[in-house]
Chain A
């Protein structure tokens, strides 16, 4: 009997070790097996605010055999990091994964890991549901549709009415349009504003304009063969020269977008104009605070035509066990009626033709802005101005975020424009090469 306690201890140790091993190895359990009898369980992974809470509840009442769980991530960065990592791992993704426009090029590069929604999706989710540029951007090189468009970010121009008035410049939405018709007139007006206001900056940061200008080029950082174009892309070089010249004239407030200083800049009135996608209205309102109500205005013009910044897609990875059901849910969520509800819930601006024509959208006004503009109608008009999307190769988003934006920041901090351009070219080569 003497041995008993010790043996128990040994057994416990072995058990504990096994448990540890099992705990360390067994964490990669994948989704539940397909069960033909019970309800079908779908997961949808989103980031930020898509406004889907009510919609998903509604979908489950219409389809009692389907149970939907939403996995929400706060920020877009971690969501996509997780997405790419689990695409690589081959398991662990939700049945429906949201993809933000800026990360789309990296995902399109791995199109073989997604279902072609034009094949498996319902018939009513055809190309004519969306604005052409929104639909086309989610097509891979071999023509697969990997995502249904959700929201969009058509660009308009926001400006401080009071600051323009103080500088004796035109300030009502109709007369400022002339200032914002091309990038030449925009930067000319900026130079005039700097002089008349005694040295106050015109825009928040160089990169915010440069990114829009690059997106308006026929060919972006990469051509359709995924070759870097910077060595002979005259359009991008011209945009660089224009922006950096404006920085040299003191037009930039040198506030990196979304930094704390940029946030403070709204309260302090540090800049007079701001490139303004639909969702920026909310940012301006929140950061400027009630003290600055009625000082901002918005006009349906944008230098060089229109443009888009932001917006997402819903995709169905091939990992899912229920591709058909997932595609149906994604199609339903991105239908015009649902997108309008999401817009009313969280302000995600629609990209569907019918939703943009809706009187409910057109009636939307913004009392924080001078003259209570009808922003629904205004941004819908801006969305229709957008031409076909520029082809974006893999790495395009990283070049914008990690190379061109810091290079322009360096110029704002005193680096010579030619040297900054070299930094941009070298950095882009490193990412693509």
Chain B
């Protein structure tokens, strides 16, 4: 082929530069447009499963839209007005924040302490690290069912233990605080190990010299932990706090499985542990009030954006002060 082609090419070169051939134009288009095509899959998929549902939810939230309605009536912001006057919604917001504080607070503290323990010289460190990560690998639904059983009122293991020590049984599902504590325990059991490993990684990145210098200055282990380790962990801690904020505000499976009524979305007999997502699910897929559920979804979205923004500002400020110190 080359032997035949070579002379042909020589024949053509002296001629006047012709109109760009089809192939040349194609190559020009290629350079111009293919980058867009390469990144298109992400944007197409994001548009389909991210942006479109978000905007469509906003659209649905302006209608009194029940599943199966042929022509849902347009109601403007009525759903939002109703939502802001809805006691059950504010109750759900309160429950969500309460469970979030009860879970994220202890979780971060225990995770840091666990990481500090794992950072000391242990026999078989990998075994320990995998060990604390195991709850994270367990199925959430299985955890939910097991914990709901442990916290059972009459035949639950925890109440039997309390009784053994002569303490009164606690009807975990009945009370507001007791149910929040029980659900937070479930969340903590699952997530503490995961967070501890992230903190541990950050701890091991702290240069040895700083600690050694502190030892030379005569600081004990506790002083070194408080004055050296903790300040250097700050960015990591903020990451851990933000991720658990997002997860905590969307908590759903734990409260749903904790209810004694199977498959119930009520969050207890008087909604004492109904979270925002649970309430949204109930409105949308149990009462089939899609318009109202969409309004809840949007308010929840904005709530998370606001809290994430606050966290972002805190992060930036902390980063700035650290830079200043250096």
- A and B associate in one complex: yes
Interface residues of A (CB under 8 A from B): 3, 6-7, 10, 13-14, 16-17, 20-21, 24, 75, 77, 81, 84-85, 87-88, 110, 113, 254-256, 258-261, 264-265, 268, 270, 398, 401-402, 405-407, 409-410, 412-415, 423, 430-431
Nearest 9 A/B pairs, CB to CB: A88-B68, A413-B174, A409-B269, A410-B269, A259-B260, A88-B67, A256-B260, A406-B269, A264-B155
Minimum Cβ distance to chain A for residue B184 (Å): 20
Minimum Cβ distance to chain B for residue A242 (Å): 20
Chain A residues in 8 Å Cβ range of B173: 413
Known: A3-B26, A406-B261. A20 touches B266 (CB 8 A): no
B263 near A88 with CB under 8 A, answer: no
Q: Which residues of B41-100 have CB atoms within 8 Å of chain A's CB atoms?
A: 41, 44-45, 48-49, 67-69, 88
Known: A13-B34, A261-B260. A410 touches B270 (CB 8 A): yes
B165 interfacial by beta-carbon distance below 8 Å? no
A10 near B149 with CB under 8 A, answer: no
**Nearest B-chain residue to A263, judged by Cβ:** B155
A3 near B154 with CB under 8 A, answer: no
B26 near A7 with CB under 8 A, answer: yes
A84 near B44 with CB under 8 A, answer: no
A85 near B67 with CB under 8 A, answer: yes
Chain B residues in 8 Å Cβ range of A407: 269-270
**9 additional contacts, CB 8 Å, given A17-B41, A77-B263?**
A3-B27, A13-B40, A84-B67, A256-B260, A259-B260, A261-B154, A398-B287, A413-B171, A413-B269
A113 near B68 with CB under 8 A, answer: yes
A10 near B263 with CB under 8 A, answer: no
Docked Cα-Cα span, A236 to B266, in Å, equals: 23
B69 near A402 with CB under 8 A, answer: no
Q: Which residues of B141-176 have CB atoms within 8 Å of chain A's CB atoms?
A: 148-149, 152-156, 171, 173-174
Docked Cα-Cα span, A88 to B289, in Å, equals: 12
Most chain A beta-carbon neighbours within 10 Å: one of B30, B171, B260, B288: B260
A selection of 17 A-B contacts at a CB cut-off of 8 Å is A10-B34, A21-B48, A84-B67, A84-B288, A88-B67, A88-B68, A254-B153, A260-B149, A260-B152, A261-B152, A261-B153, A261-B156, A406-B264, A407-B269, A413-B174, A415-B270, A430-B88
Chain A residues in 8 Å Cβ range of B156: 261
**Nearest A-chain residue to B270, judged by Cβ:** A410
B155 near A268 with CB under 8 A, answer: yes
Chain A residues in 8 Å Cβ range of B26: 3, 7
B30 near A6 with CB under 8 A, answer: yes
B30 near A75 with CB under 8 A, answer: no
**Nearest B-chain residue to A267, judged by Cβ:** B155
B322 interfacial by beta-carbon distance below 8 Å? no
- From A85, A265, A405, A413, contact of B261 by CB (8 A): A405
Chain A residues in 8 Å Cβ range of B282: 402
Chain B residues in 8 Å Cβ range of A13: 34, 37-38, 40-41
B208 interfacial by beta-carbon distance below 8 Å? no
A256 near B67 with CB under 8 A, answer: no
Docked Cα-Cα span, A401 to B288, in Å, equals: 15
A3 near B23 with CB under 8 A, answer: yes
A17 near B40 with CB under 8 A, answer: yes
B286 interfacial by beta-carbon distance below 8 Å? yes
Docked Cα-Cα span, A305 to B44, in Å, equals: 63
Docked Cα-Cα span, A415 to B153, in Å, equals: 17
**Nearest A-chain residue to B266, judged by Cβ:** A406
Minimum Cβ distance to chain B for residue A393 (Å): 14
Minimum Cβ distance to chain B for residue A89 (Å): 9
B154 near A255 with CB under 8 A, answer: yes
B312 interfacial by beta-carbon distance below 8 Å? no
A3 near B266 with CB under 8 A, answer: no
Minimum Cβ distance to chain B for residue A5 (Å): 11
Known: A3-B30, A7-B26, A407-B269. A259 touches B261 (CB 8 A): yes
Docked Cα-Cα span, A400 to B174, in Å, equals: 20
**Nearest A-chain residue to B175, judged by Cβ:** A413
Docked Cα-Cα span, A266 to B266, in Å, equals: 25
Chain B residues in 8 Å Cβ range of A264: 152, 154-155
Docked Cα-Cα span, A17 to B45, in Å, equals: 9
Chain A residues in 8 Å Cβ range of B34: 6, 10, 13
Docked Cα-Cα span, A13 to B33, in Å, equals: 12
Minimum Cβ distance to chain B for residue A103 (Å): 11
Docked Cα-Cα span, A258 to B264, in Å, equals: 11
Chain B residues in 8 Å Cβ range of A10: 30, 34, 37
Minimum Cβ distance to chain B for residue A14 (Å): 6
Minimum Cβ distance to chain B for residue A240 (Å): 15
Known: A264-B155, A406-B270. A259 touches B286 (CB 8 A): no
Minimum Cβ distance to chain A for residue B213 (Å): 54
B268 interfacial by beta-carbon distance below 8 Å? yes
B128 interfacial by beta-carbon distance below 8 Å? no
Known: A10-B34, A410-B269. A16 touches B68 (CB 8 A): no
Most chain A beta-carbon neighbours within 10 Å: one of B45, B67, B152, B153: B67
B45 near A20 with CB under 8 A, answer: yes
Most chain A beta-carbon neighbours within 10 Å: one of B261, B263, B264: B261
- From A20, A268, A402, A406, contact of B41 by CB (8 A): A20
**Nearest A-chain residue to B45, judged by Cβ:** A20
Docked Cα-Cα span, A87 to B70, in Å, equals: 11
Known: A260-B149, A261-B260, A414-B174. A17 touches B37 (CB 8 A): yes
Chain A residues in 8 Å Cβ range of B264: 401-402, 406
